[in-house]
Chain A
């Protein structure tokens, strides 16, 4: 890495600094090379706070930058600085863009980025929607971007992974850390096709104030943002606010109005965000397609290779919604055993899923 890169990595380690420090250096007519070479003698003359100066000197004296580069090398982690070609373009445009990014996994990724965020304590319905969105985006060559938390974040990533597509998790910790606990496997899987990304130096642990900052990156890096389910006060709403400030298109999945868990996301719709009423419409909007709402009343069901019984059951579930086996038995005039073996087959094909104990629904997949 060049001296310029060292300088950016060093500045980045003072967490209070961002892209704006580059303007300050420019005003002082100090290049990054010189900044790195001359060290503390030069820094005394710069208009930076004492705290920052002390921190810079300490890190420099410790040889932290060289050590950090070595650690990254050992762990297979890339450092992408703001002056790097590989630095994401949309993020670079943000006035507060971080000076360096740590990237673990595949980088760069092709395809446009779409942020999908929501609450950790999501409803099971929202979890399914997020999972489907992740899968659908990944299958269409779009890269879903989210945080690394449980709930919606995790659902989006696992959806993408299940369709073998790339996905990006922006972390509020160092990329060598796993937070929350229990996401070890998920993070591993993400790095296979996608990437873990963070502005924080290796070893940075979880602390509450870092997560809202992380949300800014999600909104900046993404072309569009989908809020799947979020209460009024939540990280997802912070992300949405940043996205609106940056002029990103914001979509929100309609939720129940008698529950606090969707008050934030529903509120976004009220404020003019696009309601995500069909995954298909959202996908169409990505490819610049027209929003064409009421063209077809029915869902298309791909029925190749299905028996008549299976088609009847799937049509019933697609058209009329959730059913118990008792309902299906009486509405399709079949025996319980016949209904169950058809459901088993549809389940294996991914066309239905149990939406509650003893209740079956058609998958979103078969509704697209």
Chain B
């Protein structure tokens, strides 16, 4: 038996699949065993057609066995190894170096891009295997250092290569992530909103989840979009994680070191958000990995949907279960959530009149609370500026995202250094125990917080959030100690601007 290697995906990992092909005499038939999905079963037609155009006819009973037998195999990326396996068992080609093949075959033998090339490249590198991939997957694979990968335009070229008649191009390690492309919108493009900008700077610096509250047209979405522009650029490792997810979904284009921003709408399905489905793939929350996940019109989201986001937000990864076992996708996101201040949207607006009773607002507030709100450190009220207010800001240009990002990066590196021993990268992830002991809270700040916790009706959880946020404010200030001023600024971000 001649085993040829292919891959299938489990989560964002590529798993090696051995493709064994046996051809015996008799009436023509192809059978594929080893938990193939519909797309794999269809591959026999594509493979046979492609081989025929190369003048490699397949006759007799063909048994294709995919091992390990208990692993579900999916998608068209096994076309190429099955074709190679068949060609090999007819004796049409041979090769000696251990190699992995991936690609979907067109009927004329050309190779189409597939999802999962980056995970496959990582697997091939680890196991010291040569990797043969469709040309269109070459760009993303160029990110993976140290893999011996070849670009295959079509099946004929591959066969010619093994016969020694043709050279295949190697994938060069020249992945270029454009260093500092300007990210739109820039903070300097947003008029006014000094308080919201400051809050977002804190959110970015300490990786704190935020809730933006404002009337329609106040610019919540714009601010949320600008948020990723002040986050530190992706590190090599993070970039690889992001590319892994993108490759698993089948998006090969690169956006450089820009962090992902994924807005989700309340009408989106649970599968679209969390991942899963018949062609198991990551959802929006994983697409937002290492970036910003944005939930607009938060109060419109179904309760069960929010409930399903809770675990991933806590764990930084999401487990998608299906009949044949479960897979895990990464989901480390900075969560930005936006909502109106009241059911009609105009609460506190200086121009439009709010038509909600205090009763309506109370009910609305209840709707807001729950599993997601519990994970939010900063409330960011966004005023809808009147034309006069906007006019008064004319000519005053705020700071650029780049200037803010520099401060954010400095604060982040302080945190990385301080928390290196507990393996936490940011203030928002601090465990409760650390909060009470190692924050560097000054004596005055401690007694101040104690004295106001009662009047502001802060819960235990509320106090923890104030502490974390004030630690980040102190870091932005390059201050070792948390002062009373840091605490009182953090208190200003626990206000929703609702009735209380």
Interface residues of A (CB under 8 A from B): 119-124, 127-128, 150-151, 155, 258-259, 322, 324-327, 329-330, 336-337, 339-345, 347-348, 350, 354-359
Contacts and interface: CB of A to CB of B under 8 A. Distances in A.
Given A150-B358, A151-B357, A354 B381 contact: yes
B294 interface: no
Interface in B190-212: 192-198
A326 B354 contact: no
Contacts of A123: 354, 357-358
Nearest to A258: B353
A150 B359 contact: yes
12 contacts: A123-B354, A340-B198, A348-B456, A350-B455, A354-B496, A357-B213, A357-B384, A358-B196, A358-B383, A358-B497, A359-B350, A359-B383
Contact of B218 (A119, A342, A344, A357): A357
B492 A341 contact: yes
Given A326-B193, A337-B489, A122 B348 contact: no
Interface in B335-352: 341, 347-350
Contacts of A345: 484-485, 488, 491
B347 A357 contact: yes
A292 B74 CA distance: 85
B358 A155 contact: yes
A322 B389 CA distance: 12
Nearest to B392: A330
A124 B198 CA distance: 28
A356 B194 contact: no
Given A324-B385, A329-B194, A357-B215, A344 B492 contact: yes
A151 B359 CA distance: 6
Nearest to A356: B348
A324 B359 CA distance: 26
Given A344-B489, A347-B491, A357-B348, A325 B194 contact: yes
Interface in B443-500: 448, 452, 455-456, 473, 484-493, 495-499
Contact of B192 (A324, A339, A355): A324
Given A121-B357, A347-B491, A356-B341, A324 B195 contact: yes
A336 B358 contact: no
A343 B494 CA distance: 12
Contacts of B498: 354
A360 B357 CA distance: 20
A4 B341 CA distance: 57
Given A341-B485, A342-B488, A121 B359 contact: yes
B308 to A, nearest CB: 28
A200 to B, nearest CB: 24
Contact of A326 (B194, B347, B362): B194
Interface residues of B, number: 54
Interface centre among A121, A322, A330, A354 (most CB of B within 10 A): A354
Interface of B: 192-198, 213-215, 218, 341, 347-350, 353-354, 356-362, 381-385, 389, 392-393, 396, 448, 452, 455-456, 473, 484-493, 495-499
A340 B379 CA distance: 13
A187 to B, nearest CB: 16
Given A339-B195, A344-B487, A358-B497, 8 more contacts: A124-B499, A345-B488, A347-B488, A354-B497, A357-B213, A358-B193, A358-B196, A358-B218
B452 A348 contact: yes
A328 B66 CA distance: 69
Contacts of B485: 341, 345
A350 B166 CA distance: 81
A343 B383 CA distance: 16
A359 B489 CA distance: 15
A124 B354 contact: yes
Contacts of B396: 330
Contacts of A327: 389, 392
Nearest to A324: B383
A366 B79 CA distance: 76
A195 to B, nearest CB: 24
A326 B492 contact: no
B499 A127 contact: yes
Contact of A357 (B214, B392, B489): B214
A127, A345, A356 — which one has the most chain B CB atoms within 10 A of its CB? A356
A-B pairs, top 7 by smallest CB distance, nearest first, are A356-B348, A358-B383, A121-B357, A344-B488, A325-B195, A341-B489, A348-B452
A348 B491 contact: yes
A347 B492 contact: yes
Contacts of B455: 348, 350
A358 B382 contact: yes
Contacts of B452: 348
Given A348-B452, A358-B196, A358-B381, A151 B389 contact: no
B410 to A, nearest CB: 15
B454 to A, nearest CB: 10
B486 A341 contact: yes
Contacts of A359: 348, 350, 381, 383, 497
A258 B353 CA distance: 10
B489 A124 contact: no
B197 A336 contact: yes
A140 to B, nearest CB: 20
Nearest to A327: B389
Contacts of B362: 150
Given A325-B194, A336-B197, A356 B383 contact: yes
Nearest to B197: A336
A38 B192 CA distance: 82
Contact of A340 (B193, B341, B353, B492): B492
Contacts of B484: 345
A356 B499 CA distance: 9
B350 A322 contact: yes
B177 to A, nearest CB: 32
A155 B362 CA distance: 12
Contacts of A324: 192, 195, 383, 385, 389
A230 to B, nearest CB: 13
A185 to B, nearest CB: 13
Contact of A336 (B194, B354, B383): B194
A356 B497 contact: yes
A160 B270 CA distance: 46
Given A127-B358, A326-B393, A348-B456, A357 B383 contact: yes
Given A322-B350, A359-B350, A341 B497 contact: no
B195 A355 contact: no
Nearest to B349: A356
B198 A357 contact: no
A341 B358 CA distance: 28
Contact of A341 (B349, B354, B488): B488
Contacts of A354: 348, 381, 495-498
A323 B477 CA distance: 26
A233 to B, nearest CB: 15
A329 B349 CA distance: 20
Contacts of A340: 195, 198, 489, 492-493
Most chain A CB neighbours (cut-off 10 Å) among B194, B456, B490, B498: B194
